[in-house]
């Protein structure tokens, strides 16, 4: 069975502003199935949390819904909600089988969430996941000292990732919190 590929999600937190950018490509084998998928969105009350996903779309939406419930339960506290989601994700038999990763952020935190129960706060305020994640991460780190605006930095890093990763394109969805 062929596997879906084609997600690059990049989070950049700098100078009180956080950006999550995601490309639009979904591939099945060596065929682009969809060039303009939306993998980044606002969640929580008032859209104060942004998130992007890599992996199976239905699994990611399940996780977004669970995270939204945790945000309601813990009064919008992203860190607490993410830790509680990670606990559920790791211990619940249904959730444990979900194949997705997430980058989520609010005005205070930028986090990577994994199905292993990880809640990671990346060093230097830059995080990336997905097929082209390592390309975007390397580009963002290289550009970080030279570009102060996190949105410009994210756009440039994603452009570089799209140029070198066949599973990444330049049709971006970008969300920002300050």
- Summarised one tens digit per residue, pLDDT across range 25-46 is 988 878 888 899 899 999 988 8
pLDDT over 90, % of the chain: 66
Q: Among 52-56, 76-80, 98-102, which stretch is predicted with the lowest mean pLDDT?
A: 98-102
Domain at 121, CATH number: 3.60.20.10
Instruction: Report the domain count for the chain.
Output: 1
Phi, psi of 130 (to 5 degrees): 100, 180
> Which of 7, 57, 114, 176 does the annotation list as catalytic?
7
138: domain range? 4-177
pLDDT confidence of residue 2: 47
CA distance 12 to 25: 20
| Known catalytic residue at 18 | no
Binding-site sequence positions for Na(+):
162, 165, 168
Q: Could you give the dihedral angle defined by the CA atoms of residues 69, 74, 80 and 81, in that order, rounded to the nearest 10 degrees?
A: 10
- Is the model more confident about 105 or about 54? 105
Mean residue pLDDT of the chain comes to 90
Name the strands in the sheet holding 26-28, side by side, starting at the edge strand that comes first in the sequence. 4-5, 26-28, 31-34
């Amino acid at each position: 069975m062929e596997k879906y590929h084609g997600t690059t999600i990049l989070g950049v937190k700098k100078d009180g502003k956080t950006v999550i950018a995601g490309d639009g490509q979904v591939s099945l084998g060596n065929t682009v199935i969809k060039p303009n998928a939306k993998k980044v969105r606002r969640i929580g009350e008032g859209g104060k949390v942004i998130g992007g996903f890599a992996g199976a779309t239905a699994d990611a939406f399940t996780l977004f819904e669970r995270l939204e419930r945790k945000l309601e339960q813990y009064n919008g506290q992203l860190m607490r909600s993410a830790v509680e989601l990670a606990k559920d994700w790791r211990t619940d038999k249904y959730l444990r089988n979900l194949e997705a990763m997430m980058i989520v952020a609010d005005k205070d935190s930028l986090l990577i969430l994994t199905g292993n129960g990880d809640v990671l706060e990346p060093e230097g305020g830059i995080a990336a996941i997905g097929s082209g994640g390592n390309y975007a991460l390397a580009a963002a780190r290289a550009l970080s000292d030279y570009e102060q605006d996190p949105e410009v930095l994210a756009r440039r890093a994603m452009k570089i990732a799209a140029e070198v990763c066949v599973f990444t394109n330049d049709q971006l969805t970008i969300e920002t919190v300050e």
